[in-house]
Structure 1
Amino acid sequence: MIEEERITVITRNFLSSEIYSVDIRNIANVLINTTFFFSQLVIISKTFEENEIKIKNLRTSEAIFARRIIEGLRTLKNEKINTSAYSTDELISTLKELSTTKIII
C-alpha cells in the first residue's frame, strides 16, 4: 500500500502475516529485479536492520508503476512540496512526471 507519507507491505503466509512500514523520507532506493514472467520490487530503507523489503511476483508493469510513484513521492518530500491540495488523479499524474528515470527491461 502506497500512501503519501509511508509504504506499507503486508506479506501473508499460510498461518501468519508480516507487516512492514517505512516512511517515504527513510527510503534510500527502489529497485526492480525482473525474470521471464514476473518482477520483484525492492525497497531499500535507511532505518531497518534488514534494510530491504522485497515484493515478489509482480507484473513488470506493476513494479514499474509502483517504483515511479514511490520515486515521485520521494522527490516531493525532498523538495518539501505540500500535496494536500492535489486530487488523487492529479497527484498520480504529477508523481509519474517527477520520476523520469528511463527503465529498460
Structure 2
Amino acid sequence: MTATTTQSHRGPSAHHRRRNSSNRAAATNRWSHGVTERSDAMDIERDIFRSGNAGEIAASLKRSSTHSRRRKGTPFQSAMSMLNFYVNRAGRNLPKERRDTLQRAKRQLRIAFGRKP
C-alpha cells in the first residue's frame, strides 16, 4: 500500500477539517433561520410567541395548524412542534417568565386538542 492510499482511508487532513468546521459553524448559526425560511412548516400568526398569554398562544397555534395546508403531521403534532421549535431556538436566552408562559401554552394546547395535560 502506498502512503497516499493509506492517507485517503484516514479521511481529510487536519487543515481540511479546520476549514470545514468554520464553514459548518457559520451554517449552524443560521440553521433555524433557514428552517423558518425554506421549510414546509405551517404558517403561524406573526409575533404570536411574544404574547404573554398562554391561552392566546395555544389558541393561535391550534387555529394555524388546523387551517394550514403546509404541515406534514397532524394538527396537534404541527402546533406542538412549532412551540417546541421556538423554545429550543431561544435556548438559554429565554427568560424564565417567558419559558413558564410557553410551558403553560403547551398544557393549554394539549387541552385544546383533547389530550391529557
- Same fold, TM-score > 0.5, yes or no: no
Question: What's the TM-score once normalised by structure 1's chain length?
Answer: 0.31
Question: What's the TM-score once normalised by structure 2's chain length?
Answer: 0.29
Q: Which structure would you say has the larger Rg?
A: 2
Higher relative contact order (CA 8 A, sep 6+): 2
